Amino acid sequence: MIVPEAETPAFDVVTERVENVTSLLPLLAASRPLLFMRRGEGIAGLGEAARLEFRGPNRIRDAAATWQRIAAAATVRDEVGLSGSGLVAFGAFAFADDSAGASVLIVPRVVVGRRDGVSWVTRIDGADDPVAATELGPEYRVVLHPGALDADGYRAAVDAALARIRSGALEKVVLARDLTGHLPEGGDLRRVLVDLALGYPDTWTFCVDGLLGSSPETLVRVKDGSVTARVLAGSAGRGADAAADADAALGLATSTKDVDEHRFAVESVVDALRPHVRGVVASEIPYALKLPNLWHLATDIEAPLADGSSALDLVGALHPTAAVAGTPRDAALSLIAELEPFDRGRYGGPVGYVDGTGDGKWAIALRSAEVAADGTITACAGAGIVADSDPERELAETRMKFRPIAEAFA
């Protein structure tokens, strides 16, 4: 949905510094929180001043164009000037062009932020929503069960993908499977977010329109003309002790299968960014990124922006990367549609925020789940399939990747 120019809202936006906010999580709504945070710093949204929905292959491009007009029409008084202050929209986009699920940009009525020892509150059109901590709701436990693709079905899908790869049709495809559950009536989603934020502090803990999780992968960050991204592909479980853990990291770094999978992902990001930046800088050798439950091969990418693209423009250029789709992209997407008997929804899609200047931070919705209005929970996890893949190992990798979200609900 593109807002007609004649209907573009002219928001009045005021951002003021406030006394130090010690935690964003207790300030959130229990049922539909808005959050994008890492290491306790980030932004939280309260209420909705505007909700924009987009669908189809041009959903991100349409969102970027609509947001540009909304930002241009806004009057902003911002005494903070940090990332996340001023006019902000939270966003979450569907993975697939033909997904039944909507992609959204949500402008909160109130935004609370904290960064580098500074706290602030932004109010849209004089919104008087109170900014106050509330107690978490009662504890609950949700067990997630196999969805449309169980373990046997996933092994069979990997076998089918390997046959296609070995025939030369493509080099890599990321195949996901799903788990489902049901949130009890009145279940406080902040409990899940607290568990994720405490257990995985170095990831992006997010919640936008029922999509919540803790993603280790930065799709793109745009700030003051600089572009950064973090590419993750290739993973291994953590060892039971220090020696085993070091062996796991070394095994990952020297695994031909994982290094090849990672290379495809890095190349896809660099190729997508190249038309928009100057002098891309990326290390030739990936490093092992340590998370609480696994190791990832990681590469950080930096470049100066060359064409004035907004964060949303670059999100549209990058999505989907080889880390969540495969190589070549079109062949991988076609095979995903053939072998996955479910709609990924926003799993693997961009999630984050954009501000009034076009800057923003976006992650890939991994280690995540979607909670529908009726309480249905759908979680997905995937693995990159290349010629050397083994179905049993790939199934085990999805189990590792389900752990953060499954344990947070349980």
Considering the candidates 41, 171, 172, 394, report the single residue annotated as catalytic: 172
Residues 68, 70, 72, 77, Cα dihedral to 10°: -120
For residue 255, give the nearest of 163, 394, 389 by alpha carbon. 389
Report the C-alpha gap between 375 and 183 in whole angstroms: 5
Is residue 217 flagged as an active site residue? yes
Report the C-alpha gap between 324 and 348 in whole angstroms: 6
Element (H, E) at 148: none
Measure CA of the first residue to CA of the last residue in the chain; give whole Å. 37
Distance of CA 118 to the CA centre of its chain: 25
Considering the candidates 41, 171, 217, 397, report the single residue annotated as catalytic: 217
Using DSSP's 3-state secondary structure scheme, residue 260 falls into helix
The 3-class SS string of 228-256 reads EEEEEEEEEECCCCHHHHHHHHHHHHCCH
Is residue 397 flagged as an active site residue? no
CA distances in angstroms from 363 to 133, 285, 347, 351, 368, listed in the order given: 27, 22, 11, 5, 11
Hey, which residues are catalytic here?
A: 172, 217
